[in-house]
Amino acid sequence: MKSRIVQDIPLRSFWMSDQKVSKSPLLIIGGAGFIGAELVRQLPKEFDFHLVVVDSDSKRLLELDLPQAQKYCVSAFDTVEISKIIEKEKIKGLIHFAANSDIKSGSLSSEFDFYNTLMTSIALSEIVRLKKFEFVLFASTSAVYGNEESAISLQSSRYKVPISNYGWAKLASEYALKLATQESQTPFILARFPNVVGPRPTHGVLYDFKAKLKSNSEVLDVLGNGEQTKPYLHVDDLVKVLIRAIRLSKIEMFTELNIGPGDNLRLKKLVEIVLEISGLNPEQKYGLTPYGWVGDVPSYSYGDSLPLEYSDLVLRSSESAVRDAFYGFWND
């Protein structure tokens, strides 16, 4: 992303300020999920937002530390109900996390990602194109790139060719929301995440490994041959970047970020970390191919560094992210 800085704003003091930023009511769609819930915990430390959360998971919604009146159990692709909430709460900022959270399930049926990933974005784009907001932030994914032999870069001229239903649904969502925000002149933050880990996951490799080891500590079945190599980003680090992007949306009409730690971790090393922390020594059974499931991208890396405006933020390494995440998760 090429930065466009307004000349009369002392930017360094702007982005490093300890002062809370006061803004209008903010709606987080899918805000009870793994990343959304962490953002709900962290945002009040930086902003005087009136937070409103929409999610279809009533159990996780109840667990959020927000007044009940600020939580709505509504389907994210229910345009009518979302519009009513926006009008009732006088929403000015939007964060869109709603999606199929289990990428593997999308390989079983395209309906998972058609309804839970793409249609939620189409519904939001219909709202955004007719109404200007202070910003829209969309949580996308590295899966939109598909199999990239070289490091993933925003400067790449290659077409994005996803190899999973999830990746295609997210890529289509990017286009729909970008067009909608352009039409209404709403600042748009497009953030692509790698594998995100943390102490309270709802899915993902650490979630799967814990479930398997708690069920049977004698054998650990690993999807794929263990040679998969990917970046892992701690959810706390991700939230720091997203908060910075929200601050900068005041002076940026379009922000495109590939957010990653700058290194990768091989799956066999990740297994070592899991077993070290768990204290278990099960038989390890690996698959025969580098693909964990249909649509899995076995290896990728991010070639981009975060822009200058984010240079003071330190993202821990993939190994440190996994260690910190699983230690808290296993002992929870």
Same domain membership, residue 17 and residue 57: yes
Contacts of the segment 118-121: beta carbons below 8 A, 24+ positions apart: 118/169, 118/172, 118/173, 119/77, 120/29, 120/30, 120/76, 120/77, 120/96, 120/173, 121/96, 121/169, 121/172, 121/173, 121/176, 121/177
Q: How many domains does the chain have?
A: 2
272: enclosing H helix or E strand: helix 267-278
CA dihedral sign of residues 50, 53, 59, 64: negative
Same domain membership, residue 158 and residue 27: yes
Would you say residue 76 lies in a domain?
yes
Same domain membership, residue 226 and residue 238: no
Q: What is the CATH number of the domain that holds 218?
A: 3.90.25.10
Would you say residue 1 lies in a domain?
no
Same domain membership, residue 241 and residue 100: yes
Residue 113 confidence (pLDDT): 85
Same domain membership, residue 270 and residue 125: no
Would you say residue 294 lies in a domain?
yes
pLDDT along the chain (332 residues), means of 10: 36 46 82 94 89 95 94 95 97 94 66 88 96 97 91 88 92 98 98 94 92 96 95 97 94 94 96 98 94 85 92 96 94 82
Cα 241 versus chain centre, distance: 11
Residue 3 confidence (pLDDT): 36
Residue 223 confidence (pLDDT): 92
Q: How many helices (H) does the chain have, and how many strands (E)? A: 11, 13
DSSP 281-313: -PEEEE-SSS-SSTT---B--B-PPPPGGGTT-
Residue 202 confidence (pLDDT): 86
Same domain membership, residue 286 and residue 146: no
Whole-structure pTM value: 0.90
Residue 24 confidence (pLDDT): 79
Same domain membership, residue 178 and residue 31: yes
Q: What does the block give as tokens for 204?
A: 């993902």
Q: What is the span of the domain harbouring residue 181?
A: 11-197+233-258
Residue 19 confidence (pLDDT): 54
Same domain membership, residue 161 and residue 307: no
- Nearest CA to 23 out of 71, 93, 128 is that of 93
Residue 15 confidence (pLDDT): 41
Residue 5 confidence (pLDDT): 33
Would you say residue 87 lies in a domain?
yes
